[in-house]
């Protein structure tokens, strides 16, 4: 834990004082891809000034819950914490609040059905400083796996749909299906400081659903795909998550994992 600040002091049901504050969890290279999170620590106010437990000594990963407080993480609508697995088929009447849009309401481009989520692509791509047709979920762990099933047939090279890792419009990865001539391609594009390069691309059969997967192990990110949902192949090798960090991209919100579609794709396969 690092970069702690913006604390509020509260009295718990046990009569003890606690500090609620923001901080970050850097990865093994000291980079911050998760963004700022909320923490709580006991506070000793027996002297003139409040002192957080351990002071400047690194805190233990887990502390006991205050007496009288029930941990409802992941239940009754509370956001899950710690290690968890979450599946979403987008068939419910109300979309979970963990899914968010950027610069505009998510309902502006998405429709839910029993077949899943349908995204109506905007005429903006992921590099636009404007609302994009992307449904985001925050990265919550330094190591994670995110997988989706995509049913999509692009009509031209200006069409693209897939997944993104997004720190901002100037720092992101795009992992999606588009077209070159009459052939369908899966590509991985890296954008750093607004400058984009295609890391890798491969022809792909889109007549059946394509399974896309993003994995991270600290600073190492991998973008994988499968045609059967079981056997995944990698595209582009292991790439750095540096551009998804506060250290490189600035900001403090962390990386967003998104389901993205656009009708003005600019990632051109040579």
Domain spans in the chain, listed from the N-terminal domain onward: 2-52, 106-262
| 169 band by pLDDT with thresholds 50, 70 and 90 | very high
Radius of gyration, CA atoms only, the chain: 21
Distance between CA atoms of residues 112 and 91, nearest Å? 6
Residue 31 has pLDDT above 80, yes or no: yes
| 191 band by pLDDT with thresholds 50, 70 and 90 | very high
Answer for the pair 175, 257: CB distance below 8 angstroms, yes or no: no
pLDDT of 82: 83
Residue 96 has pLDDT above 70, yes or no: yes
* More confidently predicted of 204 and 2: 204
| 59 band by pLDDT with thresholds 50, 70 and 90 | low
Residue 61 has pLDDT above 60, yes or no: no
* More confidently predicted of 81 and 184: 184
CA atoms 177, 181, 183, 185: torsion sign = negative
Residue 123, number of CB atoms within 10 A of its CB: 11
pLDDT of 252: 86
* More confidently predicted of 64 and 103: 103
| 214 band by pLDDT with thresholds 50, 70 and 90 | very high
pLDDT of 62: 64
* Largest separation between any pair of C-alpha atoms in the chain: 74
Tokens found for residue 256: 């967003």
Bridge partners of residue 17, in order along the sequence? 11, 43
Answer for the pair 266, 127: CB distance below 8 angstroms, yes or no: yes
In percent, the amount of the chain with pLDDT more than 90 equals 67
Q: How far is CA 214 from the centre of its chain?
A: 10
Average model confidence (pLDDT) for the chain?
92
Answer for the pair 209, 150: CB distance below 8 angstroms, yes or no: yes
pLDDT of 49: 87
Topology (CATH) of 106-262: Jelly Rolls (2.60.120)
Q: Which residues contact 169 (CB under 8 A, 6 or more apart)?
A: 126, 127, 128, 129, 194
Residue 1 has pLDDT above 80, yes or no: no
pLDDT of 109: 95
Distance between CA atoms of residues 185 and 162, nearest Å? 11
What is the mean predicted confidence (pLDDT) over 14-25? 90
| 69 band by pLDDT with thresholds 50, 70 and 90 | confident
Residue 89, number of CB atoms within 10 A of its CB: 11
**Which of 7-21, 68-82, 216-230 shows the lowest mean pLDDT across its residues?**
68-82
What is the mean predicted confidence (pLDDT) over 99-116? 91
Q: How far is CA 65 from the centre of its chain?
A: 28
Nearest to 160 by CA among 143, 171, 174, 149: 174
* DSSP codes, the chain: -EEEEEEEEEE-TTS-EEEEEEEE---TTS---S--EEEEEEEE-SSSS-EETTTTSPPPS--PPPTT----TTSTTPPP-SS------S-SSS--TT-B-SSS-GGGTEEEETTEEEE--BS--TT-SS--SEEEEE---SEEEEEEEE----SSTT-EEEEEEEEETTEEEEEEEEEETTEEEEEEEEEETTEEEEEEEEE---SS-EEEEEEEETTEEEEEEESSSSS-EEEEEEEE-GGGSHHHH--SS--EEEEEEESS------
């Amino acid at each position: 834990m690092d970069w702690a600040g913006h604390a509020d002091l509260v009295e718990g049901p046990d009569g003890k004082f606690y500090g609620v504050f923001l901080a970050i969890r850097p990865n093994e290279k000291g980079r911050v891809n998760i963004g700022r999170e909320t923490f709580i620590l006991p506070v000793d106010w027996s002297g003139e000034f409040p002192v957080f437990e351990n002071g400047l000594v690194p805190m233990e990963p887990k502390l006991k819950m205050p007496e009288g407080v029930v941990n409802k993480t992941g239940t009754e609508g509370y956001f899950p914490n710690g290690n968890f697995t979450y599946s979403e088929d987008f068939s419910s009447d109300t979309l979970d609040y963990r899914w968010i849009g950027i610069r505009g309401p998510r309902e502006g481009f998405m429709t839910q059905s029993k077949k899943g989520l349908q995204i109506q692509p905007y005429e903006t791509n992921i590099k636009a400083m404007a609302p994009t047709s992307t449904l985001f979920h925050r990265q919550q762990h330094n190591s994670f796996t995110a997988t989706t099933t995509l049913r999509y047939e692009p009509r031209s090279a200006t069409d693209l749909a897939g997944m993104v890792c997004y720190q901002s419009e100037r720092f992101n990865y795009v992992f999606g299906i588009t077209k070159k001539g009459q052939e369908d391609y899966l590509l991985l594009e890296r954008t750093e400081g607004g400058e984009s390069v295609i890391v890798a691309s491969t022809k792909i059969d889109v007549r059946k659903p394509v399974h896309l997967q993003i994995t991270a192990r600290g600073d190492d990110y991998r973008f994988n795909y499968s045609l059967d949902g079981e056997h995944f192949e990698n595209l582009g090798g292991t790439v750095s998550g540096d551009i998804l960090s506060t250290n490189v991209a600035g900001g403090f919100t962390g990386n967003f994992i998104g389901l993205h579609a656009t009708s003005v794709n600019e990632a051109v396969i040579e």
